[in-house]
Amino acid sequence: MLRYVAGVSPWVIALCILSALVVLALQALRWHLIMSPLLGLRYADAYRALIVGVLFNSILPARGGDLLRVQYLGRRTGKSRATILGTEIVDRWLDWWGWIPSFLFLCLLSDPPAWLYQALGVFGAVLVVWAALMVVLARVSPGGRFAHIWEALRAGIGAFRTRRTWLVALVIAPLPWLWEAFILTWAGSGFGIELSLVQAFSVMIAFNLATIVPSPGAVGTVEVGGTAALLFFGVDQSRALAFMFVYHFSQLLPGIAGGAAVLVAQGEKLVGTESP
């Protein structure tokens, strides 16, 4: 494996790092379009919060950084953390929903493996249940001591029902996944791995599904899931593992460095009581 890692061109690694920034930019755009009608926040606010979340996702298991980006954004802007959390729940759904239109588009290019149909079929059912729960939660108005917090959360989740959100779901949500699949085909060639766009997308889905098993920064799970998919496509195990190791590192680095830079520049502590 080390032989393949040492032999890769620095330009391949540089492009993968730049690609991670493009993916973050598209993800921040998606979240911004959901938040802005409710909270009036700028795109830059969404981008900084997202990259801070990526930093802490690399440290904490089970995507704990996603909760900390809510804390960060609420502290920096004074907006309701509950409403921000509601929009983040919608944004997370949109993120994974992006697999479905991407898959349908790529099916026009070539036939995907049978296991990808099965995996996305199961995951699509999960998304349907999740969507139904958001619709129900957006209509429930319980009273009691925490009613104001619930109302703020409900306002954020209510963004799911808007036409704007569904336009984002069809146009913006697939873009990060399609972009990353394209980059995987290009980066793979730097390791002597030739992948079609559909195969690269399949590898990407495999290592994302593997992250269901929690680990800080998804270290280990991404490598196992991606390598398994590459083995399915006939790639040598050592070459596949080297590729996934380098690619995963290149995706973690921009978020870690960028998130740390944002926090240092702003003197942020991520604790406070400014917003509910």
3 state SS for the chain? CHHHHHHCCHHHHHHHHHHHHHHHHHHHHHHHHHHHHHHCCCHHHHHHHHHHHHHHHCCCCCCCHHHHHHHHHHHHHCCCHHHHHHHHHHHHHHHHHCHHHHHHHHCCCCCCCHHHHHHHHHHHHHHHHHHHHHHHHCCCCCCCCCHHHHHHHHHHHHHHHCHHHHHHHHHCCHHHHHHHHHHHHHHHHCCCCCCCHHHHHHHHHHHHHHCCCCCHHHCCHHHHHHHHHHHHCCCCHHHHHHHHHHHHHHHHHHHHHHHHHHHHHHCCCCCCCCCC
pTM listed for this prediction: 0.93
For every one of its 276 residues, what pLDDT tens digit does the chain have, with 9 covering 90 and above? 777 777 888 999 999 999 999 999 999 999 999 999 999 999 999 999 999 999 999 998 888 899 999 999 999 999 999 999 999 999 999 999 999 999 999 999 999 999 999 999 999 999 999 999 999 998 887 777 778 899 999 999 999 999 999 999 999 999 999 999 999 999 999 999 999 999 999 999 999 999 999 999 999 999 999 999 999 999 999 999 999 999 999 999 999 999 999 999 988 765 554 444
